[in-house]
Structure 1
Amino acid sequence: MRILVHIQWPVKAWSIPETHATALYTQFPDVEFVRAHNNEAAEWLIEDVDAAFTPRLTPEMVARAPQLRWVHSPAAAVEGLLPLAALDAQNVLVTNSKGIQAVPIAEHVIGGILVLSRKFHRTLDAQRERKWIQNELVTDWPWLLQGQRMTIVGLGTIGTEIAKRANAFGIHVTGVR
């Protein structure tokens, strides 16, 4: 089996680190991995692979890949990134990484809630200005998360992870699908 690994984005967090790619080669020695470090390389490497680990393809790339049988996207969403009709026409299995961003996004949301509820942005500004603003910070109580209410609209993988973390802070969570 020959697999194209093409996960290169301008944002490093969305790219596969070389160490991870190397781990694939080590864990699966019977598989031939070909690594595309840019879109141009992916366009010609796709021609003789059985599978592709990539977040995006063009219909033209799919047309040039008669052996392609499986595409896995590292993203949760594939609409608009993968040519689903072209892949379906060639009977290519498409899988995604549903839920992969749930924990990081949930932690980011809870971090944002803490920043706003504890007014960290104001305390950092005051610290830079060498001001003592303790009395100003407690004017709009309650700032405790415990006992507060949260409604989450959309209880998929991300919403569920947010609910778990909010619940750990004692927030009463209502979820709406």
Structure 2
Amino acid sequence: MTEKRIIATPRQLPGALAGILRAKYEVREPADSVAAPGEFAGYAQGAEAVFATAFDDMDKAFIADLPESVKFIASIGVGVDHIDLEAAKARSLMVSNTPEVTTACLADTTMGLIIAACRRFREGLDIALTGEGRGMLTPESWGQRVTGRTLGIVGMGNVGKEVAKRAKGFDLDIIYTTPRPSAEIDRAYNARAVSLDELLKQADIITLHCPLKPETHHLIDAAAIEKMKPSAVIINISRGPVIDETALIDALKSGRLFTAGLDVFETEPAPIREDLYSLPNVFCLPHIASATWESRSAMAMRVLANIDAYFEKGAPLDRVA
């Protein structure tokens, strides 16, 4: 019987997922929940593959420290901004992600945040927790109707398109920006491609679905916010650093923006900033857009399929590097 191929992980895996992997492979995990600094390279000696999550920061130094035996990084999740892809390519490391399987749940979460932020559910919840039976009866505490407004989608990829499908049910006028606009997208989603500047100026609700890259870091900064309507609502389920949180907090405090709905934060994996989550006109979720039984199960099966394909065929199914 041939020896099991070796997989190393910087953090302990959920029991069910680890059990499935151990049935086929030798899995090396840290003794504690997360590997201590400098510890991972030692127990990864001899491993061919590394299992990564979005919370494992695999920067240039991390990749340089990997044993020569490592040839493949299997990441669970869509985003790969936690991995220095250029450093991986320089070492001829393959990298994979788990695309598409979370799309529906991400779009559902986006619509939930739109409703919660527009209708100021955060403030309503605060009032309900006081035991008051009725509240928000004065105009300064009222929310905004969602139906019939203009939705600006930044990033018309898989998730952006699913959001557009759901937005039809609210009779939203859809504008979008994407690197590859097309008449086909316009027809399929009754949408209109515009520049980012036009979108910021025209949209009542702005949703962010772009990957985190150098060009999208702080895409929404003070200058971008200045172009938005004071009544605008901004939603982010992409990556936290796409928004300059300092500029966002200033705008929400001053009334320059109406509300925000956020599932991702610039400080991750550290805690959410108190001066952000304590604002009454911010509706925060703790990065749970994909936290459903359906999405997480599909993500696990997809990363397993990538690992199997690498060991059996020499390359993962969802290769990004």
Q: Given the superposition, is the C-alpha separation of residues 31 and 134 from structure 1 closer, same or farther in structure 2, using an over 3 Å criterion? A: closer
Equivalent pairs, count:
163
Matched residue type, 1:43: A
- Equivalence for 1:167: 168
Counterpart pick for 1:132 among 131, 134, 145: 134
Question: Counterpart of 2:138 in 1: which secondary structure?
Answer: helix
Q: What TM-score results when the alignment is normalised by the length of structure 2? A: 0.42
- Equivalence for 1:73: 75
- Equivalence for 2:7: 3
Give unpaired runs (5+ residues) of structure 1: 9-15
In structure 2, C-alpha distance between the alignment counterparts of 1:78 and 1:141, rounded to whole Å: 36
Superposition CA RMSD, Å: 3.2
Q: Whose Rg is larger?
A: 1
In structure 1, C-alpha distance between the alignment counterparts of 2:16 and 2:9, rounded to whole Å: 13
In structure 2, C-alpha distance between the alignment counterparts of 1:49 and 1:94, rounded to whole Å: 15
Which runs of structure 2 are paired with 1:1-177 in the superposition (5 Å)?
Answer: 1-7=5-11, 16-25=13-22, 29-36=23-30, 37-40=33-36, 41-54=39-52, 55-57=56-58, 58-62=62-66, 65-79=67-81, 81-99=82-100, 102-127=103-128, 128=130, 130=132, 132-133=134-135, 135-136=137-138, 143=145, 145-177=146-178
State the Cα distance separating 1:52 from its structure 2 match.
Answer: 0.8
In structure 1, C-alpha distance between the alignment counterparts of 2:86 and 2:144, rounded to whole Å: 52
Identical aligned residues as a percent: 21
In structure 2, C-alpha distance between the alignment counterparts of 1:2 and 1:32, rounded to whole Å: 5
Q: Given the superposition, is the C-alpha separation of residues 89 and 133 from structure 1 closer, same or farther in structure 2, using an over 3 Å criterion? A: closer
In structure 1, C-alpha distance between the alignment counterparts of 2:139 and 2:123, rounded to whole Å: 8
Contact residue 103 and residue 162 of structure 2 kept, 8 A: yes
Contact residue 10 and residue 51 of structure 2 kept, 8 A: yes
Q: Given the superposition, is the C-alpha separation of residues 139 and 70 from structure 1 closer, same or farther in structure 2, using an over 3 Å criterion? A: closer
Contact residue 6 and residue 25 of structure 2 kept, 8 A: yes
Q: Deviations over 1:15-61 (max 9, x none)?
A: x4233222333xxx332222234324422122110111124441342
State the Cα distance separating 1:166 from its structure 2 match.
Answer: 2.3
In structure 2, C-alpha distance between the alignment counterparts of 1:70 and 1:169, rounded to whole Å: 44
Q: What TM-score results when the alignment is normalised by the length of structure 1? A: 0.70
